[in-house]
Structures are given as C-alpha cells and as structure tokens.
Amino acid sequence: MNAFNIIQILLNVSRLILQILYYICQSMYYSIFGLEEKNVNGEIVLITGAGHGIGKELAIQYACLGAKVVCLDINKQTNELTAMEIKEIGKDAYAYECDVTKKEDVFAVAKKVKEEVGDVTILVNNAGIMPCYGFLDHTDDKIIQLFNINVLGHFWMLQAYLPSMMKRNYGHIVALSSLAGIVGFPYLIPYSATKHAVQGMMDALETELHVSNEGKSLIKFTTICPYMVDTGLCKKPKINKMLEMFLQLSSPKDAATQIIKAQRQNISIRSIPSFWLPLIRFGRILPENAQMAVKDFFDTGVVPE
C-alpha cells in the first residue's frame, strides 16, 4: 500500500467521523425540539386490515388529516363500515375486499385502486394475526397461515404498490412489526419470527433503494414495533403487577396516532410506547445473563390460550 492510498483512507475515515458527529448532533437537536410533521393532505393512503383495531383508527385519523383513504380487509362488512364512518364525516374513503395472502387477489385489487382512486403514495401494511400457544402446540396449518398473512402479505402488497412509487421516486411504506420482532416472547414463537422478518425486510428494502438510487431515493420507510395494543388479538396479556402503570396495553386510537406521527416525521423505526426501543438498545450492550435478569424483572408477555 503506497502513501497515496493511505492518505485516501485517512481522508475517507475523517469524512465518515465528521458525518457521524453531524448526525449525532442532528439527532440530539430533534430529540430536544422535535421533528416537523409533513402534510398528508391529498395523499392516497392504503391501509390493510382496516376493518377493525389499529387499521380502522389509522383510516379515520388519516382521513381527518385530509388524505384519501383506501381500506383493505378480508372482512368485507367491517371494512365497508370503516369507509362509511369516514364518509359520514365528509371525508374520502374507498373500501376493497382483499385477502393479502393471495397474490392474484392483491394485484387485482391494486389494478382497481389505480383506476378508481389513483397511485397509492402511503402504504400501511397493518394486517396480521397473533395466536398465542406453546411452541409444540402450534399446528402446521397455523404456522403457515401466520407467515402467509404476517410476512408474505407484505411482499405481495409491496410488489403491487412499490413500482409506482419507484417510478415517481415518491412515497412512504409503513409496516407493523412488534416488540416481539426485536425481543423474543414466550408463547409467540412463530409470531415473533414473522415480526423479525418484517423488520429485516423493511431494513433491507430501504437499504437496497438507497444503494440502487445512489442515495437519491425519496421513498421513506417506517417500521412500528408496538408492545401490546388492546385490539382483541392479545387475549391473555401477562403484566407484572409491580410495573403495571408502565406496562398497560395501548388503545388502538393512541397507537394509530403514534404511528401517523412517526410516518409524518419520517422516523425509520418507532416502538409504542416510545421508551421501549431505547431501553432495548441499551439492554443489548449488557452481558447475556444480565439481559435475562432484565427480562425476569419485567416478567411481561402473554399467557398461552
């Protein structure tokens, strides 16, 4: 290695250090003063699982912010009720029955949405299920169904709606992962695996678009990792009585508000409540036995059905 190469390496390393310091200062500034929330008025927002729970609240709140809302759900009746509620307050909403596990169904609905509403600019992959059983009590069919809905459903939706975003170099993808996609929870092993997959998919896809567009991609990504939300999926939550005030289930309305705020602020990953993610990141630097001691202290999760 000659002197020129050494100088080049030193210059590049110095540049990297300066970039890191700049982004640290930027992050501290935003932590103190907050991030500006971008306008979603006029955006076309598509939400899967819009018939109930978080999806329904997301649809209503986005509509109230002036977005055109496209509601997708396998349950036609509840999905249409969500759209009807939005129309009753004088906002735009469209309802489409769709099984996200069936690629042909997803693409057929995507064609209708494009023709009848326009190009989707914000895609929220929210649909998911969460059966709570011991590892050996999960049937083969249930495991396959979990991955079809919680993982492959994301892939089919992305394949259907991402191309138009890439063509315009504009859009935002939001995906619902879970704290179980960061820290494994007992009795949620297949579910945890699907949510780890969602987080990995979002991270890799964002990086791929950044690399393939030489850092010029304007498509944003937000991964949401809720603790537990009172949607009915978590039938038997296990909460440490000593820490009950910190471990309450979030309401779907509050969760939706935090999701929309994270999307409007272009935050790449956010836990609900927000304190969980930095707490987990800090815990990762501890020895493994110390991490297990922390898990034993919190003693939270679910009880098998």
Measured between alpha carbons, how far is 51 from 74 in angstroms, rounded to an integer?
8
Closest CA to 164 of 19, 46, 287: 46
SS3 label, residue 226: strand
Measured between alpha carbons, how far is 139 from 25 in angstroms, rounded to an integer?
50
Distance from the Cα of residue 166 to its chain's centroid:
19
Residue 250, CB-side half-sphere exposure with 13 Å CA sphere: 21
CA distance readout (Å), 112 to 43, 66, 70, 119, 227: 17, 22, 11, 11, 35
| Catalytic residue from among 62, 187, 191, 227 | 191
Measured between alpha carbons, how far is 298 from 198 in angstroms, rounded to an integer?
25
Question: Has 30 been annotated as catalytic?
Answer: no
Measured between alpha carbons, how far is 190 from 184 in angstroms, rounded to an integer?
10
Known catalytic residues? 191
